[in-house]
Structure 1
Amino acid sequence: MRCPFCQNEDTQVKDSRPSEDKAAIRRRRYCAGCGARFTTFERVQLRELVVVKKTGRKVPFEREKLERSLDIALRKRPVDPGQVERMINGIVRRLESMGDNEIESDQIGHLVMEGLDSLDQVAYVRYASVYRNFREASDFEKFLGKMSGPEGREFEDD
């Protein structure tokens, strides 16, 4: 493992234990080059996933990108980090179990919307504004109207 501070490849594992949710191994590491300490997490990966963007471009799936987008949507919201981690784990498991290595970006967005719908309504709207590409205030009004309307929530574009 390369040191994130000095890029030295000579790092040593000082402590290993399961993460709180038992979905990963948490490792405390020490860099022999600069003396820094840092933590890594090791997870089981069932298959290499590739995200197919709307443009057709294919990029490797990055769990960290999913985590970052949820962090942005959930910023300053009273949501337990454990719930967020379980949601991310569930989304990744569902993607890995779909049977295909290539996943449409819309499928990922749909799964995130489902998870946020039950987790936090403000984060749900924040994420939707990016996922559905809101351009003006009326887009929010229409979306919020659908949320409270008798037909319930819809994840598909109109």
Structure 2
Amino acid sequence: MKKIQVFIFFLSIAFQGFSQQSAIDSLKKELSQPGLSIDIQLKILKQLSKQDFPDGISKNIQYANKLVILAKLNNNYRYASDALDFLIATSNQNGNFQKAAEYAQEAIFLADENNNAGDEVYFSNLCGTANRNAANYYDALENYKYALKR
């Protein structure tokens, strides 16, 4: 009985891996179709940035960066902001605090351009945290002060 349970367990793991790769492949195929609207491209890039790639997080970062660029080119603030938030969190988790601070600065600038004070405060605090973790204490203090002023 236990052998059957173990076999079913490993079979389900293999199926999950196959279905995940299948989802990634179908998203990539859909993205490569000509004449795709910008909104659909943005949605697909967002989905690709959240997938579990077998080779790690680098593909997620690549798709999130593409999403930021395309969203900014098409003045779609929400997609760019969400992607930058993902990039900040990912950089912080990987210990790349300087890169997280750079992404947060970009998000602050974007929020300011779009007159979104709430996001300015949110990203200023994230930038302050990233700078503090990177031992850039003066920059962190400036980020926190900026957030308080907004």
TM-score over 0.5 for the pair: no
The two structures have a TM-score, normalised by structure 1, of 0.32
Higher RCO (CA 8 Å, separation ≥ 6 residues): 1
Between Structure 1 and Structure 2, the one with more strand by share is 1
Structure with bigger helix share is: 2
